[in-house]
Structure 1
Amino acid sequence: MTRAPPSPLSGWTLISLRPAGGHAPMRRAAAKHGARVLALSPWRLRRRDDPATRTALREALAAERVVFTSPAAVAAASALRKLRPGPGRIWFAIGEGTAAALRRAGVPPQRIRTPQRMDSDGLLALPDLQALRGTDVGLVTAPGGRGAIAPALAARGARVLRSDVYEREPVVWSAATSNKLRALTRPYAWVVSSGEALQRTRQALPPEWAQAWPDSLAVVASERLAVVAREAGFGRTLVAASARPADLVAALAQAAAERRFR
């Protein structure tokens, strides 16, 4: 019986910077290509549930246009209120993962707009987010993160109704996680879908890792994140089609198969 050829990612370790408890999709995507995952969460997500949050969410969801910045924002919002766009309302998802979360929450697909380029720049380029003078725009999100969206919408004349429905709590790495990081050998790649996660991780790393970054490879979700990674010290970046784990891992697998790096 003929054996299948080894995957180009056999023996690779993918360092995942997703929130605590959120690495399963990355593990599944990596396993399909023969790679393993080292989970290095910079934070965990905590939903907010207080009167001020509920009031802000109600006002945001009543806007003519509503922007959701992540699947976590959809999950946190739907835990507080049913997500039902009113007549003539349009809701926007930063990417396909967020759009899928909205559909699971019961939002009709025809009421959702998703950019082809799944990042802040792609979202802000959508036609329905251009002429906004006198328009209320809800922003369902978390503190920090995608800070370019609200100022851009306001500059276009929108009244931005922000609702921070969850927050990021820093994670202190366990001794076991730190030991796995110290024992890591090549080949490996950092898988990055958040600039803030990358920056927090860099601050927490031991000095020897900061010195190794110029020779490290970062697989990122957008051209914008590629710039962030290079500014953080990475010598090489690889841009994926989206922030979805399957796309991030596929980009690395294709590059490895084509021997675009050593």
Structure 2
Amino acid sequence: MAITRPAGTAAGLVAAVRARGGMPVLLPGLSLRTVEDTRVAATLLDHALTADVVVFTSPAAVAHARQLRSLATTAVACAVGAGTAKALARAGITNVRFPDREDSEGLLAMDVMSQLGHARVALVGAAGGRGIVRAALRDRSAQFEEVHVYRRGPARLDARHRAAAGAFTPRDRVLLSSAEALANLQRGLAGAPWQALLGATWIVSSERLAAMARDAGIAIVHVASAAQGQALLDVAAHVPD
């Protein structure tokens, strides 16, 4: 079972796959790096944490922000999903709001996000991505700011990754929760390894991602209810070989 989570972040999902009797194969679609100027990022984060509402876009955003400074804040803290909320709880922020639908659209549909008025809103994450939350907050709030606490980029895929991918068959599963990861894997595993992965069974985290996977040439695609590992694994377990 291929795990495409960012390099260095898949330990929990690896353990969960093994607990279910599967054999995890790491094919990271992304690497996460610290921002180049941590001093500037820390200063911007200090200011962001004094906002009325602070939105953390991922567990990685929380982890990298914690490396810059304490996350103590009196702001209303929002997270894109339960995983990010748990990361914030570990950082000492326990009263976190997050949506049932764990994606950008779900976050923006929450009452606190749709009734901003003239509140000051800060978004903590990385540059790039879909940009839906960023664009919506700019439209909804007269006082919007953004802090990049980490950077996303392609993971380094070597001969071992190519060999592992090249051995995949329709009986093997690929777990995917990122459009960027999909694009990076397609480039990084170009040739026979990617052709083998195209024939595998893919479990993705949204209908949007399913459409992108099919556009990339993937024939067997199943959609999970969320991006969390448990949701992806539940679908993978019930897909017939």
Q: Which ranges of 4 or more aligned residues in structure 1 deviate by more than 6 Å?
A: none
The CA distance in 2 between the partners of 1:182 and 1:233, in whole Å, is 16
The CA distance in 2 between the partners of 1:228 and 1:30, in whole Å, is 25
The CA distance in 2 between the partners of 1:185 and 1:213, in whole Å, is 7
Q: How many residues align?
A: 240
Specify the SS of the correspondent of 2:100: coil
Structure-to-structure mapping, 1:30-49, within 5 angstroms: 30-48=17-35
**One-letter amino acid of the counterpart of residue 217, structure 2:** G
On the 8 A contact 1:192/1:221 being kept in 2, the answer is: yes
Specify the SS of the correspondent of 1:36: coil
Structure-to-structure mapping, 1:215-234, within 5 angstroms: 215-234=199-218
Instruction: From the superposition, tell whether residues 25 and 71 of structure 1 become closer, same or farther in structure 2 (CA, over 3 Å).
Output: same
Structure-to-structure mapping, 1:33-112, within 5 angstroms: 33-48=20-35, 50-86=38-74, 89-109=75-95, 112=96
Unaligned runs of 5+ in 1: 1-13
On the 8 A contact 2:200/2:220 being kept in 1, the answer is: yes
On the 8 A contact 1:69/1:146 being kept in 2, the answer is: no
Q: Alignment RMSD, CA only?
A: 1.9
Deviation at 1:182, TM superposition (A): 1.9
The CA distance in 2 between the partners of 1:34 and 1:213, in whole Å, is 21
Deviation at 1:78, TM superposition (A): 1.5
The CA distance in 2 between the partners of 1:199 and 1:120, in whole Å, is 20
Counterpart pick for 2:229 among 245, 253, 262? 245
Tell me the residue number matched to 2:8.
21
Tell me the residue number matched to 1:120.
104
Unaligned runs of 5+ in 2: none
On the 8 A contact 1:124/1:149 being kept in 2, the answer is: yes
TM-score (norm 2): 0.91
Structure-to-structure mapping, 1:125-136, within 5 angstroms: 125-136=109-120
Instruction: From the superposition, tell whether residues 227 and 79 of structure 1 become closer, same or farther in structure 2 (CA, over 3 Å).
Output: same
The CA distance in 1 between the partners of 2:117 and 2:61, in whole Å, is 26
- The more displaced of 241-250 and 114-123 is 241-250
On the 8 A contact 1:213/1:235 being kept in 2, the answer is: no
Instruction: From the superposition, tell whether residues 140 and 121 of structure 1 become closer, same or farther in structure 2 (CA, over 3 Å).
Output: same
Identity %: 38
Structure-to-structure mapping, 1:151-166, within 5 angstroms: 151-166=135-150
User: Which structure is larger by alpha-carbon Rg, 1 or 2?
Assistant: 1
**One-letter amino acid of the counterpart of residue 153, structure 1:** L
On the 8 A contact 2:168/2:200 being kept in 1, the answer is: no
On the 8 A contact 2:41/2:148 being kept in 1, the answer is: yes
On the 8 A contact 2:162/2:193 being kept in 1, the answer is: no
Counterpart pick for 2:158 among 153, 160, 174? 174
1:204-258, CA deviations, whole angstroms, 9 ceiling, x for partnerless residues?
222335545664322112223222222322223222232221221112112x3xx
The CA distance in 2 between the partners of 1:223 and 1:63, in whole Å, is 33
On the 8 A contact 1:78/1:105 being kept in 2, the answer is: yes
TM-score (norm 1): 0.84
